[in-house]
Amino acid sequence: MRTTTIEELLEDFEFLDSWEDRYRYIIELGDELEALDEVLRVEENRVQGCVSNVWLIASFDASSPPRISFRADSDSQLVRGLVSILIMLCNDQPAPTVLALDVEDLFTRLELRNHLSRSRSNGLFSMVKRIRVLAAQGIAQAEN
């Protein structure tokens, strides 16, 4: 999975003229996600608060602070794209950086809040919450 910066993502969105093109781009980003094995599609890895099924897992390296890598999948194309954006921003970052990322501001700047249904927006923030929980767990494990 490739990584990106907030600035690069904003530039990509600004380049696209219509929201139809932006939705298509989000779906294409989701197509880049590697599907999770069925053994990882368990309740323990499912993001609570999403209408669609979303599974999100993390792994950590041994650096200090630990760097975090994410894998995710969803049964919705658009949601796969949204979680893909989150992973692109957070993957292979130090866990404290992931915790400090202002995702809410980013999605406001991308105007996603205005173009997603309430249930999709709630699901998106549930994914952000899960990413933060996993990053905090990585920090706690490193401290022990």
**Going residue by residue through the chain (144 aa), what tens digit of pLDDT does each one get?**
677 888 888 899 999 989 999 999 999 999 999 999 999 999 999 999 888 999 999 998 888 778 899 999 999 999 999 999 999 999 999 999 999 998 888 888 888 878 888 888 888 999 999 999 999 988 888 777
pLDDT, position 139: 81
Residue 133 confidence (pLDDT): 94
CATH topology for the 6-143 domain: Sufe protein. Chain: A (3.90.1010)
Q: Is 90 a catalytic residue?
A: no
Contact 97, 72 (CB under 8 A): no
The answer to whether the CB of 124 falls within 8 A of the CB of 116 is yes
Tokens of residue 9, six digits: 């993502």
Q: Pick from 103, 109, 112, 108: which is nearest to 79 by CA?
A: 112
Interacting residues of 115 by C-beta distance below 8 A, sequence separation 6+: 19, 22, 23
- Domain positions in the chain are 6-143
Of the residues 33, 50, 89, 101, only one is catalytic, namely 50
